Amino acid sequence: MKLVLASKNEKKLKELRDILSAQGVEVVSEADVGVDVEVEETGTTFAENAYLKAHAVMEAAGLPAVADDSGLCVDALNGAPGVYSARYGGPDLDDAGRYRLLLENMRGQLDRRCKFVSAICCCFPDGTKVEAQGECAGTLAYAPRGTDGFGYDPIFFLPELKKTFAQLTAEEKNAISHRGKALAAFREKLKDKI
């Protein structure tokens, strides 16, 4: 089965390929199928945004499309940045700028509990969809550590491993991450469609 990833994020494409290839699922980019879709993420939940992206790319490509919407939810900030994780601080910030802003906004805050959330949605041309969600709890580090991963990975600390996501190998991260958990659930549900 071929799924088009509704994202231009190369690191996300690699993660999805790594996790879904074992099931015989080929994940291709929008560019691979000749589409370039920009979707306004107007949903109020990760699941709504994942659906908006997957549905738009499925319609443009005429092929099943899968989307992930994910982000970091910080307890002390009432769940922020949440669905706005990729846009936190405005369009002029890159990943490092966003996590530095978050660390600045958390200065002096003792409650550092947070979680990553991932919602996966796959829309099919026959009108059906497959959805799954995963979460990974952790704490915010006080400073970035590690060079792997992307987004908020350098400041997402796992107390039980004493490492941030950015200090884990891809295999370690995929085994415990929010996206890895969501994709494992998605993989199970996808068996009915293969």
Residues annotated as part of the active site = 69
Q: Which residues contact 128 (CB under 8 A, 6 or more apart)?
A: 193
- Strand-by-strand arrangement of the 65-74 sheet: 26-28, 2-5, 65-74, 113-123, 129-140, 156-158, 163-164
For the chain, the residue count is 194
Rounded Cα distance, 147 and 101, in Å: 18
Rounded Cα distance, 57 and 75, in Å: 33
- Quick one: tokens of 186? 């998605």
Whose CA is closest to 173, among 15, 5, 26, 67? 15
